[in-house]
Amino acid sequence: MMRACLDRRKQGATPMRVMIKAALLVGVAAALGACGAQPAAAPAQPTAAAAAAPAAPAAGGVAQWSVSDLKQQIEQDKDLFVLDVRTPEEYTGDKHIAGSHLIPLDQLEQRLAEVPMDRQVACVCRSGNRSGQACALLAAKGYTKLANMQGGMKAWLDAGYAATN
């Protein structure tokens, strides 16, 4: 028995071994061939105007603005209504955007008359969560010109933008 095994080893490659090696070589060649494929074309760069414009409204009609988008809108749109929905303690203690209007989220539904329907309303909070909820509430009440500042006042202050007590 032992001798039969040694005889097979001396024979070298069996048909099964040849097929396995060939399959491996074909697989490796195919994989290496894919590595040499031309890279996909880079996406077109946005124009300066498109890059400067705030993000368009999402499906729910609420635009998602970065802090730089909001800063730009404050500078360009003197009619912009910045709604801060944090608590009074956060508003005064943690600083706020000059000219913003404080209506805490838990009071917003009772104080809707203070929020103009005919102006762009940008909602702000500490991190972007409550302002998103405020935008959803306002949208449900018929407001259409809404923006949520992503990242909230934390991101605003981290960007080094001016804020007041």
Mean pLDDT, each 10-residue run in order, the chain (165 residues): 50 51 44 39 40 50 94 95 97 94 98 97 96 97 96 95 90
Which residue in 93, 90, 114 sits closest to 103, CA to CA? 114
φ/ψ region of 34 (left if φ > 0, alpha if ψ in -120 to 50, else beta) reads alpha
Are 63 and 7 in the same domain? no
Are 25 and 102 in the same domain? no
How do the residues of the chain divide into helix, strand and coil, expressed in percent and rounded to 5? 50, 15, 40
Are 25 and 66 in the same domain? no
Eight-state DSSP code of residue 163:
-
At 47 the pLDDT is: 38
- State the pairing for strand pair 81-84/62-65: unpaired
At 45 the pLDDT is: 44
Which tokens in the block code for residue 35?
């590595």
Are 83 and 143 in the same domain? yes
Are 75 and 19 in the same domain? no
| 65-153-80-103 Cα dihedral, nearest 10 degrees | 120
Are 8 and 83 in the same domain? no
Are 96 and 153 in the same domain? yes
Are 25 and 73 in the same domain? no
Are 12 and 92 in the same domain? no
Are 66 and 141 in the same domain? yes
Give bridge partners of residue 62 from the DSSP assignment: 146
At 129 the pLDDT is: 94
Identity of the residue numbered 119: R
> Domain range for residue 15?
2-29
Which tokens in the block code for residue 76?
């360009």
At 87 the pLDDT is: 97
- What is the number of structural domains in the chain? 2
- Measured CA to CA, the distance from residue 17 to residue 95 in angstroms comes to 74
The residues carrying an active-site annotation are 125
Are 61 and 25 in the same domain? no
Q: Return all residues near 52 (Cβ < 8 A) that are at least 6 apart.
A: 72
